[in-house]
Amino acid sequence: KAGVTQTPRYLIKTRGQQVTLSCSPISGHRSVSWYQQTPGQGLQFLFEYFSETQRNKGNFPGRFSGRQFSNSRSEMNVSTLELGDSALYLCASSRDPTDTQYFGPGTRLTVL
Amino acid sequence: QQQVKQSPQSLIVQKGGIPIINCAYENTAFDYFPWYQQFPGKGPALLIAIRPDVSEKKEGRFTISFNKSAKQFSLHIMDSQPGDSATYFCAASNRYNQGGKLIFGQGTELSVKP
């Protein structure tokens, strides 16, 4: 069974731009969560989607948003990029919100 | 109250040694405690997980010990190998109220010397 896939794997943007990251969950998984990983703050929860509905949101500004499609694929968007948004963005999928989460390889975002 | 505190930050052991990584939490509503292993350039991979009604769980060379009254849990790696060199994260969640929201510890960078 294929794992969680994330595209693109690497991205370089400049301040003020916006970016969209994509996540395809494991087949049959309907829950997708997003995390931001930085050396200083570690792994921080961004949001969780299940059946196209956002169930949980972490403590991030409104510039961070996401959505989930009917095929369970998810996207997250960051608008008006700041230098501090440089991070590894990880997507994790599970069969449902109470089940084990499996992580993708992440998208490395660099904001210049 | 949502924090998970992990220690040590880094750990160096010789091959065959038993590194121990500790985590502590405050929120008694947490009901699921997984450990993840992350290699450079990869996403975290689930190693082993435990529920608070179990005091110990073993999977291969990895053991979780859980002390509910102390609100602490730890990972032991038996007969450690150089291939175990990675960053380890403990995490906690309140699955039935907050679903997939994992709260992670800060991570422990483990180095196993040959």
pLDDT in tens, B2-55: 799 999 999 999 999 999 999 999 999 999 999 999 999 899 999 999 998 999
Residue of A nearest to B107 (CA): A42
Other CB atoms within a 10 A radius of the CB of residue A32 amount to 30
Rounded distance between C-alpha atoms, residue B105 and residue B92, angstroms? 9
Of B45, B89, B99, the CB nearest to A98: B99
**Spatial contact of A77 and A13, defined as CB atoms under 8 Å apart:** no
Cα separations in angstroms, B91 against A13, A37, A65, A109, A111: 31, 14, 24, 24, 28
**What pLDDT score does B99 carry?**
78
pLDDT tier for residue B1 given thresholds of 50, 70 and 90: low
pLDDT digits (tens, 9 = 90+) for A56-66: 999 999 999 99
CB contact under 8 A, A43 and B89: yes
Token pair of A103 as six digits: 């992580």
Rounded distance between C-alpha atoms, residue B100 and residue B46, angstroms? 14
